[in-house]
Each structure stands twice: as C-alpha cells, then as structure tokens.
Amino acid sequence: MMKRLAKAYVLLFSLLLTAFTVYALLDSFVIRRVYQTVETAVTAPQTEAVDSALLSGHEEKEASVTANSYEDDTIRVELSTYRAENSTVYVAELWMEDADCLRTAFSQNSYGKNVTAVTSDTAEDVGAILAINGDNYGSRETGYVIRNGVLYRDEAAAADQEDLVVYADGSFAVIRESEVSAQELLDQGAVQVFSFGPGLLEDGEITVGTTEEVDRAKASNPRTAIGIMEPGHYVLVVSDGRTDESEGLSLYELAAFLQSIGVQTAYNLDGGGSSTMVFLGQVVNQPTSGRSIRERAVTDIIYI
C-alpha cells in the first residue's frame, strides 16, 4: 500500500512539474499580454511601388525616390550592399535635419509581452520609409524600455547589461543599467533606450571581444545593428546569415565592419531570424526563420 502511494505521489509530482514547465514556456514565448495600447502617428503613407515620388507626410513636398534611395527636404536615405566575411550586409545610410525622424514603434500598437508582428507589417502601419527590427523587448521581463520619449519599463536587467541611449539632440551613448536608472536617463533627455546589446563601437573603437556572443547565439548569425557617424548621420545595418550564400557574422566581425565604414558608436540589436530591413514596403534582405526565407514576428521596430 505504501509503495502504491509513493508511486502515486511521484506520478502526481511529475505531472505537476510537467504542467509548470509547459506553462513557463508558454508564458515566456507564447502567451500574449497587452500592458498598454500606444497610438503611433503615421508620418507618411506607405508607398506600394518604389517609383512613387510623393509622400504626403512631409508637408506634401515632392520626394526623389529610386530603388536604393529616398530624399525629401528633411531626410535622405541611401542603401548599399556589401560582402564581408562571406556574408551579405545591407547598409542604410541616413541623413536627417531633425533627430525626431528616427523613431520606434511597437507591434500592433501595443506595449506588452509576446505581442508581435513581422517588421514589414509594423512598418506599413506607421508609414515607414525605412525600418529594421528593434530589440524585441517583449520577449524579456527586464531591461529598460524608453520609446519616443516615454518610459515603459524601468526594471534593470543584469549588472553588466549595456543599453543604447538615443538623446533628443540625436547623439548616442552606450550605458550600463547598473550605473543609472531609467528615470535618470529620461530626465537627461533620452528619447529611445534599447536593452539588447552589447555595444559594438564607442568613439570608433571596437568594444566586443573576438569570442563574445549573445547568450547561446551561434558565432555566425544574421545581425541587426544601429550606429551613428555624427548627430544627424546614422546607419541601420542588417546582415544575412544561415544560408549557403551568406554565412552570417560574429559580433566582432559586425563591429569590425561598422568600424570600416566610419561608424563611431554602434549597438547590436536582436538578430538571428529577427533581422529584417524594409524600404518603402519591400523587404530588402533575406530574413531566415527556421529553414525558410521569411520574416519572423517581433515586438518592435526602428524606423524613419
């Protein structure tokens, strides 16, 4: 009788443990929670064709548009493709008179957990000229989140967590969450704070080691990064990976590439299958999700 009871308790414990594990996995990666709905202003209607020459979000001024460029009175975008370390790298170089043109958006206009959409859909929702995936904040419980001048999350991550701060004057800085609070950053003029990381360049110097990686990420991966040459002059960068045509980059290789094109401060964003660049409604790169060339749903984007 006692043996039967013991077996029953072991079985019950195993079932409870399995149920808890399944719930924890669902809670981390599947269960959708909306904490706040955010109204995102559409800055320009999305164009369906690259040869469209009029975007009304900039005071009805006529824009000059080609397959690889966009220019109006306040913004200029030039797209270039490079080969580095057996990988294809897409660089969007940006010049803008007003740093406020560099913005962020939450997927489905919602700040929350596991609230996702593919980058191209969110870009269309906000009328983005150019967009890349962000830091996928919604897959984590900690790490500062400041977007478009609003503080959404002030809970710090690990002591060595490096964040990228974009200030109202258009300058960039890489900080450690253990050294400053989110509210202090907001008081200092932070408009955007990203908490993926790590930082890649500071003052034009590489700040990652040759073997440094993000958690369990492979050494060669699709990558997404943002960088600054000087206030008003930025780059958004995406590299392909995990295909026969494009191996992918390590963090150090990504940093070295950014250094080679003159970037002064650079920061690593969510990569892997999330890495996506969209220009005037068209996906520029070859995002990989599993074994397929397709977009992965993410929680946020960076766009102009």
- 1 within some domain: no
* Structural domains of the chain, count: 1
- 6 within some domain: no
- 116 within some domain: yes
Q: Residue 289 pairs with which residues in a beta bridge?
A: 292
- 182 within some domain: yes
pLDDT score at 41: 52
How far apart are alpha carbons 228 and 260 in whole angstroms? 13
Q: What is the pTM of this model?
A: 0.85
From the list 57, 104, 102, the residue with the least C-alpha distance to 231 is 102
Contact 240, 88 (CB under 8 A): yes
- 171 within some domain: yes
User: Which residues touch 122 (CB under 8 Å, ≥6 apart)?
Assistant: 105, 106, 107, 108, 128, 131, 300, 301
- 240 within some domain: yes
- 25 within some domain: no
pLDDT score at 44: 44
Contact 130, 77 (CB under 8 A): yes
Specify the DSSP element, H or E, that contains 224: strand 223-230
Q: What pLDDT tens digit does each residue of the chain (304 aa) get? A: 666 655 655 555 555 554 444 444 445 445 777 778 776 654 444 444 334 433 444 455 689 999 999 999 999 999 999 999 999 999 999 999 999 999 999 999 999 999 999 999 999 999 999 999 999 999 999 999 999 999 999 999 988 899 999 999 999 999 999 999 999 999 999 999 999 999 999 999 999 999 888 765 567 899 999 999 999 999 999 999 999 999 999 999 999 999 999 999 999 999 999 999 999 999 999 999 777 899 999 999 999 9
Per-position b or e across 44-74, b if 16+ CB within 10 A of its CB: bebbeeeeeeebebbeeeebebeeebbebee
Size of the chain in residues: 304
- 20 within some domain: no
Angle at alpha carbon of residue 134, lines to 62 and 204, rounded to 5°: 85
Q: Following DSSP, what letter does each residue of 138-194 receive, concatenated? A: GG-S-S-EEETTEEEE-----TT-EEEEEETTS-EEEEEGGGS-HHHHHHTTEEEEE
Q: Is residue 216 helix, strand or coil? A: coil
pLDDT score at 286: 96
Domain limits for position 94: 32-303
From the list 78, 261, 265, 89, the residue with the least C-alpha distance to 162 is 265
pLDDT score at 36: 81
pLDDT score at 15: 57
Backbone dihedral region for residue 59 (phi beyond 0: left; psi -120 to 50: alpha; all else: beta)? left
Contact 223, 237 (CB under 8 A): yes
